[in-house]
Amino acid sequence: MITFIVYAVVLTLLVIPVGGYMYRIYTFEGTGRIEGVLYRLMGVDPKAEQTWRRYAACVLWFSAIGVVLGYVLMRIQGHLPVNPVGLSGVNQYVSFNTATSFVTNTNWQAYGGETTMTYLTQMLVMTFQNFISAAVGLAVLVAMIRGFIRSRTGDLGNFWQDLVRGTVYVLLPFSVILAILLVTQGVVQTFQNSAVVHGVQGFAQTIARGPVASQIAIKQLGTNGGGFFNVNSAHPFEGGTPFGNFLELIAILLIPAASCYMFGKMVRQVRQGWAIYAAMLILFAAGLWLTAPQEHSASQAMRTAGVSASAVNMEGKEVRYGPDQSSLWAVATTDASNGSVNSMHDSYRPFGMIAPIFNIAVGEVIFGGVGSGLFGMIFYVIIAVFIGGLMVGRTPEYLGKKIGAREVKLAAIAVLVPFLVVLALTAVAVVIPAGTDPRLNMGPHGFSEILYAFVSQMGNNGSAFAGLTASGPFYAIAGGLEMLVTRFVPILVALALGSSLAKEGTVPVTSGTLPTDKPLFVGLLDGVIVVIGALTFFPALALGAIVEGLSKKLWG
């Protein structure tokens, strides 16, 4: 419990300075020297305002080029330098899946990092896209916020300026600081070949290493999650010490949490930002309440072996961290579109896995990804405001903007389309051999493996339930297409919604306006998220984690 309280307090204390800094970066009217050089190299005018269609076209073309370049580099990496281990090119299915994964900020990995990707690929594809995909999310968020603060215009800013500022002034300096701190905690950073050592028993062991700390810093801060090593943050070269583990935990939610304060500052109503932060924190605490106690009780297999029912479930956990920091990480990483893991989710108790699956399934808006989490939460805010408006019999309003049929339809599309995609793909996977053969387990647990895979890729998360071999053609192609659809449909909707709001005038606050910065609305917002998520995914959870948990309790 103390661990959870300390984490929440530290995170909250960092929200104001980090969010205030981000606010100043994105509202600065001048042009810094570094960004000015980059604009000249790119040949763009940062002051040229863009409509939402122009802004969206820049996002899509920029991302498409990233997918193509990433795919090509992985295919030919065996012929490129900075490959001391001598790895060959990656097959076409994994290359496609991985290229789409990192461009969409998902970082789903159907491969083992240290045995598949060269140092050059890790830097030019993985680390580079960790910066860029996160910066794209922040850029879209800022463009959407401008829709609330502008009036009688369809312009949302300039994508290239927002992209450069997010990368150069936010993600890069924070990552440098965190990387240095992680190196002091034992996270490796080198270009040397794998080390060969001899243990006490005399046999040789090869220990993979590489430029790890630089990638780990941005994978956490950018809510990317893809690890340099196959076991991700459970590897001692990625996590280092318990303090290093805690630093990474803070980094996972830092920018999404601080974005709430930035949002409040930009719309000139800081209480609105705190209200959204409170809604996120409540759901975050609820996930911990559901997950952590489960790992403090013995599994049926442990009890059969004579272990006390109150024993800690250490299966799949890192002994240095224990179940509390592991549970905290599992909830934090699935609340954000991060996906890094420091324990094996497949080893969690069935009821303990309901919260992480649900966290991703609702669109990872409980803090969520960098940028994408907050604009995803705003979709739910629009729906909650609409419901609240119906309750009081008034036209719904939010931040001085009327919420009409167009805005509600756009929000519904952004929320429901990803849900339909993940449920459709899961339904297909459980009835065809290409979907069922790669699973490790039968029955409810095997179903959870399949469901988690598609939910994780839908939510731009990237964590895995394990037990599922996802490198074959079906899962690689289906997952890659799913990641593209569920990443860019909400982005397009966010920009269209921002433009729609920007074209409106500002409506003055009256006595009949629904307050959206009060505890009552926070409760309504959380209720909307839970109800929509439950109505959508409860049948799937009932077929997997719930029935597995009940069967072990009742028939053991």
Secondary structure of 120-132 in HEC code, one letter for each residue? HHHHHHHHHHHHH
Distance, in Å, from the CA atom of 335 to the CA atom of 342, rounded to the nearest integer, reads 15
What tokens appear for 541 in the block? 């959870």
Please report the pLDDT score of residue 248 as a whole number: 92
Q: Vertex 121, ends 172 and 368: CA angle to 5°? A: 50
Burial of 186 (0-12, 13-18, 19+ CB in 10 A): middle
Residues facing 468 on adjacent strands = 439
Q: Which residues contact 208 (CB under 8 A, 6 or more apart)?
A: 85, 114, 115, 194, 229
Alpha helices in 169-241 (DSSP H): 172-184, 212-221, 236-239
Rg over CA atoms, the chain: 23
Average pLDDT across each block of 10 residues of the chain; the chain has 556 residues. List them in order.
89 97 94 90 92 96 96 95 89 94 90 86 90 95 95 92 96 95 89 79 79 89 84 80 89 96 96 96 92 76 61 73 84 88 79 83 88 94 91 82 92 93 93 88 84 88 79 92 95 96 85 85 94 86 76 50
For residue 234, the 8-state DSSP code is G
Residue whose entry in the numeric block shows the structure tokens 């991060």: 338
Please report the pLDDT score of residue 40 as a whole number: 93
Please report the pLDDT score of residue 379 as a whole number: 96
What tokens appear for 391 in the block? 């309750």
> The domain containing residue 468 runs over which residues?
2-554
- The DSSP line for 340-395 is --SS-GGGS-TGGGHHHHHHHHTTS-SS-STTHHHHHHHHHHHHHHHHHHHHHTS-
Closest among 44, 287, 346, 343 to 165, alpha carbons compared: 44
- Number of structural domains (the chain) is 1
Distance, in Å, from the CA atom of 261 to the CA atom of 274, rounded to the nearest integer, reads 7
Q: C-alpha distances in angstroms, 273 versus 165, 266, 519?
A: 22, 9, 13
Please report the pLDDT score of residue 263 as a whole number: 97
Please report the pLDDT score of residue 65 as a whole number: 96
Q: Is there a contact between 264 and 273 (Cβ–Cβ < 8 Å)? A: yes
Helices (H) and strands (E) in the chain, counts: 23, 4
Element of type H or E holding 97: helix 92-103
Distance, in Å, from the CA atom of 2 to the CA atom of 12, rounded to the nearest integer, reads 15
- pTM here is 0.92
Q: Which residues contact 55 (CB under 8 A, 6 or more apart)?
A: 143, 156, 157, 158, 159, 495
Return the SS3 of 207: strand
Residues facing 51 on adjacent strands = 155
